[in-house]
Amino acid sequence: MAIIHKTTMNPGKLELLAAWLPAQPWYLPTGSAPDLARAGGFRLDDPEGEVGIEFMVVTDSSGGLPTAYHVPVTYRGAPLEGADAGLIGTSEHGELGLRWVYDGPHDPVLVERLHALFRGLAEPQAQSLSDTPDPTVTARYEGSRVPGSVDGPALTVVRVLRDTAAAGHLGEVTAGWTHPDGTARRGVFASLDAR
C-alpha cells in the first residue's frame, strides 16, 4: 500500500500544473493564467511500491465558468526512459527527495494499473489517506476481450470532466469531484471502447 506523506513539495502540484496545463491540446484557454484549486481524485497502488499513482481533479476558475480537469499523474524517483513528452516537471518532496512528475497516460505503470482497475484487480484508494479504499470510485467493463491486451479495447482518459452518467462505452471508471461552489459532481474519468 502506498504511504501518503504529510509533507511539502516544492514546487507544489498546483504550481506544476499551472505551468503545464495551458500547453496541452485539451486545455480550454481563458486568456488568463490558470487559477487552479484541488477538487478531488483518487489513487491506485503500484504493486512494486516504486511509482506513486494519482488521478487528480483540479478546477480552473480563470475563465467565466470553472472547468474541471482530470490529470492522472505519476511520481517517480528517477526519470522514466522514453517519456520526456509526458514530463510535467520535477519537485522536491519533503520526505522522498527529488521526484519526477509525469502525465499518467505516458507512464506504463499507471496504464497497467488503470486496466487492472477495469478488470477488478486494483482497488481505488483515497487520495489523501494511506491504506484507505475509496468506494465512491466505480469501474465497469462489459467487453469480451481483456483490457490492456494487444487486441483489447482502446483506453480513453477523459481530461475535461462533465457531470454526466456513463455513455454506452464497453467500460468506464466513474468518480466524483467538488465544484468550486461546493456542489458534488460525478462523471466518467476513463473509458474503454472497441478499436
Please count the other Cβ atoms lying within 10 Å of the Cβ belonging to residue 68. Answer: 21
For the chain, what is the radius of gyration of the CA atoms? 16
In the predicted structure, residue 7 carries a pLDDT above the cut 70 = no
Model confidence over 65-123: pLDDT tens digits?
Answer: 899 999 999 999 999 999 999 999 999 876 767 999 999 999 999 999 999 999 999 99
What is residue 20's DSSP assignment? H
Model confidence over 43-80: pLDDT tens digits?
Answer: 999 999 999 999 999 999 998 889 999 999 999 999 99
What is the pTM assigned to this prediction? Answer: 0.93
Mean pLDDT (the chain, rounded): 91
Residue 178 contacts by C-beta under 8 Å, 6 or more apart in sequence? 39, 40, 184, 185
Written as one string, the DSSP assignment of 75-136 is: EESSPPTT-GGGEEEEEEETTTEEEEEEEGGG-HHHHHHHHHHHTT-S--EESSSTT-B-TT
